[in-house]
């Protein structure tokens, strides 16, 4: 019964996601990001959304209900992740206590200090901080799991907060898998400029002065965004800015995130171009055909810019190593799974079929990939 119920929920959400893509115009964003919370069981079971007078789960704070009855109704599906998040929060708080009163055993006459504030960027070199690191990454992953199911903006931001804190505190001592996950988190939040900024930072890290980098981390405070953001930098060409990207190893997750970025830009421009053609042809807009180029540039930018984005998209896709027939076949058959709510099942599928780090790239990004109109046809055409 539980399996049947779970399957019904997944299919209901999948139908909703497909409808979202076909009913509304495509604006280069994930249309399924929910800016405001909603009553979970009302959506999952009845496929209707209730957003008024919601109450939050008092234990995990990442589930919402419109009534006590709805909370009871949802309990069987929610209790595992609810318990996990509550336990993870407690473990993190316990692991933080010794770090807030840390006395360095290697220093004479050392006094207690809160190294979560005074040694940002250096915790990877402190053995006593490893339990804290493990606790925080477990909590970040738990929030990711819940965000992947609910797609509520606030929950995605909780996961992002903890991953960014790990990178701020531990810096280059963090496993690459954490660095790889952040760009996809930002894409799920439709923060594409920041995704580009983040990738650019880690790609060029070898060229940044170590002392300057460490100083930036030490000056930061909890919750700070420490990667300089340039407005509209998502339109830039990463290959032009950083030629060594071509030769770098283990870049598939970054390439995948950048490709999604470019695919969104191109798909959005294509949609607006078709909409403009229809408007000018089918309405009184025929009278202003002579100023079409001006209107187009106002709405979707210059044609040359669009062509450049298309070229960048294609070059990025060429660099992602899933274009042999076996790998591509597995990838394309996974499209229906892209809307499955259970991330852990999705993660297992990709990591079992693909080598590191491509498996990480696909597990984290394939939902965003398949939500872009024309993505499947684009991949098939490139074989």
Handedness of CA 32, 33, 34, 39 (dihedral sign): positive
Q: Of 181, 211, 236, which residue constitutes the final position of a domain?
A: 236
Q: In a 3-state reduction of DSSP, which class is residue 65?
A: strand
Could you tell me which residues are beta bridge partners of residue 192? none
Same domain, 199 and 247: no
- b/e sequence 304-333, b meaning 16+ C-beta within 10 Å: eebebbbebbebbbebbebeeeebeebbee
Indicate whether 308 belongs to any domain: yes
Number of domains in the chain: 2
Same domain, 251 and 148: no
Same domain, 259 and 226: no
Indicate whether 62 belongs to any domain: no
Q: Of 236, 269, 291, which residue constitutes the final position of a domain?
A: 236
Q: What is the pLDDT of residue 322?
A: 66
Please give the structure tokens belonging to residue 231: 């407005």
Apex 157 CA angle, 82 and 171, nearest 5: 105
* Nearest Cα to Cα of residue 360 among 349, 370, 371: 349
Q: In a 3-state reduction of DSSP, which class is residue 73?
A: helix
Please give the structure tokens belonging to residue 181: 């996950």
Q: In a 3-state reduction of DSSP, which class is residue 55?
A: strand
Same domain, 130 and 201: yes
User: Tens place of pLDDT for every residue, the chain, 383 residues?
Assistant: 333 333 333 434 444 444 444 445 888 999 899 999 999 999 877 777 777 789 999 999 999 999 999 999 999 999 999 999 999 999 999 999 999 999 998 888 889 999 999 999 999 999 999 999 999 999 999 999 999 999 999 999 999 999 999 999 998 888 988 999 999 999 999 999 999 999 988 888 877 777 888 888 999 999 999 988 888 999 999 888 776 665 565 788 999 999 999 999 999 988 887 777 666 666 555 555 555 555 555 555 555 588 899 999 998 888 886 666 666 777 777 788 888 887 766 777 776 667 778 888 888 998 999 999 999 888 888 76
Indicate whether 106 belongs to any domain: yes
Apex 334 CA angle, 331 and 336, nearest 5: 150
**Alpha-helix residue ranges (DSSP H) falling in the chain:** 2-23, 40-46, 68-100, 115-118, 130-150, 153-170, 176-188, 192-203, 210-219, 238-241, 252-282, 292-300, 303-319, 325-333, 343-353, 358-370, 375-381
Same domain, 348 and 251: yes
Indicate whether 17 belongs to any domain: no
Indicate whether 36 belongs to any domain: no
Same domain, 200 and 303: no
Residue with the two structure tokens 């053995």: 127
Q: In a 3-state reduction of DSSP, which class is residue 372?
A: coil
Q: In a 3-state reduction of DSSP, which class is residue 355?
A: coil
Same domain, 178 and 269: no
338: left (phi over 0), alpha (psi -120 to 50) or beta: alpha
Indicate whether 65 belongs to any domain: no
What DSSP element (H or E) covers 64? strand 64-65
Q: What is the pLDDT of residue 182?
A: 97
* Nearest Cα to Cα of residue 160 among 108, 225, 112: 225
Indicate whether 63 belongs to any domain: no
Indicate whether 127 belongs to any domain: yes
Same domain, 265 and 139: no
Same domain, 201 and 270: no
The boundaries of the domain holding residue 359 are 243-381
* Nearest Cα to Cα of residue 350 among 342, 339, 340, 361: 361
Same domain, 228 and 252: no
Same domain, 274 and 128: no
Same domain, 327 and 369: yes
Q: In a 3-state reduction of DSSP, which class is residue 113?
A: strand
Is 0.85 surpassed by the pTM of this model? yes
Q: Of 210, 236, 262, which residue constitutes the final position of a domain?
A: 236
């Amino acid at each position: 019964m539980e399996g049947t119920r779970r399957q019904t929920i997944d299919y209901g959400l999948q139908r909703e996601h497909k409808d979202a893509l076909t009913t509304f115009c495509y604006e280069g964003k994930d249309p399924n990001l929910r800016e405001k919370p909603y009553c979970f069981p009302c959506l999952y079971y009845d496929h209707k959304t209730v957003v008024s007078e919601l109450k939050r789960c008092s234990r995990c704070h990442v589930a919402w209900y419109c009534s006590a009855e709805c909370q009871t109704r949802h309990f069987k599906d929610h209790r595992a992740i609810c318990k996990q998040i509550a336990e993870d929060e407690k473990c993190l708080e316990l692991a933080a206590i010794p770090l807030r009163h840390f006395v360095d055993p290697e220093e004479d006459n050392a006094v207690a200090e809160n190294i979560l504030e005074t040694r940002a960027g250096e915790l990877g070199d402190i053995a006593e901080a490893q339990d804290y690191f493990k606790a925080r990454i477990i909590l970040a992953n738990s929030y990711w799991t819940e965000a992947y199911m609910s797609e509520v903006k606030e929950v995605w931001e909780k996961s992002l907060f903890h991953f960014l804190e790990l990178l701020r505190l531990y810096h280059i001592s963090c496993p690459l898998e954490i660095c790889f996950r952040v760009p996809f988190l930002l894409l799920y939040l439709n923060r594409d400029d920041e995704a580009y900024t983040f990738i650019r930072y880690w790609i060029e890290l070898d060229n940044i002065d170590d002392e300057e980098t460490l100083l930036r981390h030490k000056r930061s405070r909890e919750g700070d965004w420490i990667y300089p953001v340039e407005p509209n930098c998502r339109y830039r060409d990463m290959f032009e800015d950083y030629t060594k990207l071509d030769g770098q190893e283990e870049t598939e997750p970054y390439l995948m995130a950048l490709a999604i970025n470019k695919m969104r830009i191109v798909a959005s421009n294509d949609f607006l171009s078709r909409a403009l053609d229809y408007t000018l042809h089918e309405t009184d807009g025929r009278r202003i055909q002579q100023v079409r180029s001006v209107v187009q540039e106002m709405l979707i930018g210059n044609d040359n810019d669009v062509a450049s984005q298309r070229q960048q998209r294609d070059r990025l896709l060429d660099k992602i190593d899933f274009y042999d027939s076996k790998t591509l076949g597995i990838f394309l058959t996974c499209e229906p799974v892209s809307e499955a709510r259970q991330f852990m099942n999705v993660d297992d599928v990709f990591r079992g079929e693909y080598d590191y780090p491509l498996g990480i790239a696909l597990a984290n990004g394939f939902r965003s990939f398949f939500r872009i109109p024309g993505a499947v046809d684009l991949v098939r055409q490139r074989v």
